[in-house]
Structure 1
Amino acid sequence: MSTYKLVCPHCQGPLRIRTSAGQHVFLRTAYLQCGNESCGATFRAQFEITHEMSPSGMPNPSVRLPVAPVSIRREAMRKPDDAQLDLLEAHA
């Protein structure tokens, strides 16, 4: 199971997905709620699969997505800008 780090644009509190519905194999609509009780904002969002980053080991012939350009693949490999050290770097 994946976790998404979604942040409320108002109070910066955590957002949770209350419910979601598939619109298409590549598109899902979600309804979000801020976890900060003082804020209580709710939102509608859409999650879309746009590119293939690497090929599937079990390809479905009916799935046709463009391969991500090199710039997108490089961005996915970048480390997040946070203060936490990579486990391997900590022992170097």
Structure 2
Amino acid sequence: MSTYKLVCPHCHARMRIRTSEGTHIFLRVAYLQCTNEACGWAVRAEFEMTHEMSPSGMANPAVKLPIANVALRRAAMVPATDQPDLLNSLEMERAI
């Protein structure tokens, strides 16, 4: 299960990955569909690994990505403000 929240830009409902395929060690092509049946938007997306944020503890010599600069690593550490916290969502579901 993906923890990344994909949102339909048309109706703002959650998107689901219908299928995906790896085309390269650093690239995955996915086919997405809006979960809002009234919208039904479908799209092809590409997820690409571009920079190494921290080294692997089990490094594979075939994996060679540029190391992210300090500014990029700092930006990745800033929490998303538009995404609800998973633990808060679980607590709210239990209360209902």
- TM-score, with length taken from structure 1: 0.85
How far did residue 71 of structure 1 move?
Answer: 1.1
Give the whole-Å Cα distance in 2 for the aligned partners of 1:65 and 1:76: 17
Q: Which protein has the bigger helix share?
A: 2
Quickly say closer, same or farther: Cα 1:31–1:76, change in 2 above 3 A.
same
Corresponding residue for residue 74 of structure 1: 74
- Kindly provide the amino acid, as one letter, of the partner of residue 7 in structure 2: V
Give the whole-Å Cα distance in 2 for the aligned partners of 1:83 and 1:29: 24
Give the whole-Å Cα distance in 1 for the aligned partners of 2:22 and 2:83: 36
Quickly say closer, same or farther: Cα 1:16–1:82, change in 2 above 3 A.
closer
Give the whole-Å Cα distance in 1 for the aligned partners of 2:83 and 2:24: 38
Corresponding residue for residue 63 of structure 1: 63
- TM-score, with length taken from structure 2: 0.81
How far did residue 82 of structure 1 move?
Answer: 4.9
How many residues are aligned here? 86
Provide the alpha-carbon RMSD of the alignment. 2.1
Give the whole-Å Cα distance in 2 for the aligned partners of 1:83 and 1:43: 22
**Which residues of structure 2 form unaligned runs of 5+?**
86-96
Quickly say closer, same or farther: Cα 1:69–1:40, change in 2 above 3 A.
same
Q: Percent identity?
A: 65
